[in-house]
Amino acid sequence: MIIIEPHIHMLSRTTDDYTAMYNAGIRCVVEPSFWQGSNRRHAGTFFDYFRLSLEFEHTRAERYGIDHWSCISVNPKEAEDLALARETLAGMAPYLDHPRCVAVGEIGFNLITPNEEEVFQAQLEMAKAHALPVLIHTPHDTPRVSKKKGTERILDILREFAYDPGLIIVDHNTEDTMPLTRKTDYWAGLTVYPYSKLNPRRVVDILRQWGLERVLVNSSADWGVSDPCSLAKTATFMGEQGFTQPQIQQIMHDNPLAFYSQTPKFNPRLDLPYIDPATYQR
């Protein structure tokens, strides 16, 4: 089974992770832009991060037999500093036009504030201007924020935004938000995490209820507790639960390939050799 991981933050992961992912069948990954753990203070810090993702990480991944692609954005968590976000967006076009940038993302809401909304809307327009797919982060449930409310607000904004719904994925759905997302023609993302978010059992139940069309499953692994091989575990669990091999392949390979192939830039190599780390020079 060849797995395409449609949402993972490899800049935060180790070479051991790459080896484990290769051994688990993962041959291609897409890395959305993400919060690094402390807020950036300069537009240049964003630009260097974009370059690192687009130009360094794919050469690192390649040694482990994995083809790496990027999505570029100011993430929702850092949209609150409006002056910095505007300055970053003003210089973001060359990174969106980079041959390895295959979507705008992740964008959306963190605390669902007016500033976040401005930065979200501006980046939707940039996606349209650059004819790119869009990856949308729905907020986490916290004492202050409701994922369901955030998802409703995102869908309201998207309704006003005239763009092919097939180019948009609304990510990190749960049992609560799938009924909202499935009323639309957008893609729906499901994130498998070891503790928070969904586990393979919940993903399987959601897939049984809502079907396999326009669904992407991802690990969203980052610098927190997360599992870069969770897709392989989900594939195994789907098999144990009676999904057929073509169905598992649809979720793990065909759907992510179809979504990102909507930009002609995405042309993944799924047959890269794994190079024994002992044999290559730094």
Query: Which residues contribute to the site for Zn ion (CB under 5 A)?
Result: 220
- CB nearer Zn ion, residue 138 or residue 220: 220
Residue 183: what are its φ and ψ, rounded to 5°? -75, -10
Angle between helices 82-90 and 114-129 (to 10 degrees): 10
* Closest separation in Å from C-beta 246 to Zn ion: 28
* Closest separation in Å from C-beta 241 to Zn ion: 26
* Closest separation in Å from C-beta 187 to Zn ion: 15
- CB nearer Zn ion, residue 193 or residue 237: 193
- Rounded Cα distance between 276 and 270, Å, is 18
* Closest separation in Å from C-beta 208 to Zn ion: 25
Q: Widest CA span of the chain, in angstroms? A: 54
Residues in the chain: 282
Residue 27: what are its φ and ψ, rounded to 5°? -120, -10
* Closest separation in Å from C-beta 269 to Zn ion: 23
Cβ-contact 58, 69 below 8 angstroms: yes
- CB nearer Zn ion, residue 67 or residue 222: 222
- CB nearer Zn ion, residue 30 or residue 43: 30
Cβ neighbour number for residue 116 with a 10 Å cutoff? 26
Token pair 């007016």: residue:
114
- CB nearer Zn ion, residue 61 or residue 248: 61
- CB nearer Zn ion, residue 65 or residue 105: 105
* Closest separation in Å from C-beta 198 to Zn ion: 14
Rg (alpha carbons) of the chain, rounded to whole number: 18
Cβ-contact 177, 146 below 8 angstroms: no
* Closest separation in Å from C-beta 213 to Zn ion: 23
| Nearest residue (beta carbon) to Zn ion | 220
Cβ-contact 155, 181 below 8 angstroms: yes
Beta bridge partners of 5: 29
Region of 120 (left: φ > 0; alpha: ψ -120 to 50; beta: rest) is alpha
- CB nearer Zn ion, residue 26 or residue 248: 26
